Amino acid sequence: MSTNITFHPGSVDAQERVDLLKQTGVTIWLTGLSASGKSTIACALEQHLLHLHKFTYRLDGDNVRLGLNKDLGFDERSRVENIRRIGEVSKLFADSACIAITAFISPYRTDRQIARELHEKGGLGFIEVFVDAPLSVVEQRDPKGLYKAARAGTIKDFTGISAPYEAPEKPDIHIKTDECDVTKAVEVIIEYLTKHNYIS
């Protein structure tokens, strides 16, 4: 790790950026099992916010693994590093006054807490959204056939089957996707953003 690095501040401070863009940056962190509905909700939420003329960008687990994190596997150490990196990246987006939407399984509570603390230390908002669906439901959905492959032993270290998922104990928002559709899920998140003055 290099020690001869110095942070180089810009000519625009955080408040000036917020004033000019007329919005406050925040990360909306969607966590949940594979096939719980994270990516579906993230896509719909991004579209809704953009239609409200909000500077918004979505970071999706599979997409990030095709580029930035393509060197990582799915063992515990790689999963931790995957989330560490996306915590740092989402913080940069939030710091730019963007509404960053992340859709990652992010199975470990400690890693999600580190991402939250990273934002809080920078004075940035972090909203944990538990996209919750029972294992029986996500296995029935199984759009990519991953659960079937995991049950057959073809895929190792698969979250919910052969690797743990630590559900949030006190998420900021709890969405049960076996009880509501994507429209309602987006509505719940938008209501939260409005109530906490991230959008108006």
Cα 2 to Cα 6, 10, 59, 84, distances in angstroms: 10, 22, 28, 18
d(CA 126, CA 160): 25
d(CA 116, CA 113): 5
User: Which residues belong to the active site?
Assistant: 106
Pairing between β-strand 99-103 and β-strand 125-132 as defined by DSSP bridges? unpaired
d(CA 183, CA 3): 48
Residue type (1 letter), 31? T
C-alpha of 125 from chain center: 13
Q: For the CA atoms of the chain, what is the radius of gyration?
A: 17
